[in-house]
Amino acid sequence: MSNELKRARTQDEKYFRRVQILESAELLFQEVGYESFSMGNLAKKAGVVKGTLYLYFKTREEVFLTLYNQSLIRWSGVFLDGLQTAMSDRDYAETLYETAMADGSFVPLLARLEHVIEHNVSIEKLVESKRNFIERVGCIACATESAISLNQTQAAEVVRTMGVLLVGASRADQAPNLDGEEIPEDVQSLMDLFSSKVMFVKNACRIIYAIRTDN
């Protein structure tokens, strides 16, 4: 039996096997997407027997929830590093959009979180994930206060709303890939208006303004 298939026995071995599985899961997810992702394919990708996966994750959605939590921490770290004191609302929105979309897993998993993923995990895993979310939102909201001049309550509302807006805007990019094609200027201008970045930034600025001025 190869080393990849041997059962991890020590705590260190179990930790590294779990990391190995999650790294393989993220690669597989980015290759095949949510619908085509299966525990069988993950087992092959990770180099383990399928039964080994269930020693670490009870369901496919538990794998996805763990990947989401990791991507949230990863993305928020990059986003926080990109924030500056007293930046414009537009710069804030563009930084949020660009960092979120640059992470190949965060937005696709966020879009499926409440509708699919959270419905097939244990209550313990759900609570753990929500506490991770609370902690991350708190960190982002704190940085948002000084970045775009909001109070604590306003900043928290902005951060929560941006997540919903991000999911909605990401669904706008469903048009066919026309790279390399000659598109008439009027048609290209129309398509640009419906790009996810344009829609996100424009509406994010409106929401931030409304929250800031709402007494």
pTM here is 0.85
Residues 82 and 17 in one domain: no
Question: How confident is the model at residue 66, as a pLDDT?
Answer: 98
Residues 68 and 145 in one domain: yes
Question: How confident is the model at residue 189, as a pLDDT?
Answer: 59
Q: What is the rounded CA–CA span in Å between residue 73 and residue 94?
A: 19
Chunked into runs of 10 residues, the chain (215 residues) has average pLDDT values of: 56 88 97 95 95 95 98 97 96 97 94 94 96 96 96 96 90 59 65 74 96 86
Q: What is the rounded CA–CA span in Å between residue 166 and residue 102?
A: 13
Question: How confident is the model at residue 10, as a pLDDT?
Answer: 76
Question: How confident is the model at residue 169, as a pLDDT?
Answer: 82
Residues 9 and 79 in one domain: no
Residue 116 per-residue DSSP state: T
Residues 168 and 85 in one domain: yes
Coil, strand, or helix at residue 35?
coil
Question: How confident is the model at residue 174, as a pLDDT?
Answer: 54
> Among 57, 76, 96, where does a domain finish?
57
Range of the domain at 123: 60-213
Chain centroid to CA 128:
17
Question: How confident is the model at residue 186, as a pLDDT?
Answer: 61
Residues 96 and 124 in one domain: yes
The CATH number of residue 137's host domain is 1.10.357.10
Domain count, the chain: 2
Question: How confident is the model at residue 172, as a pLDDT?
Answer: 61
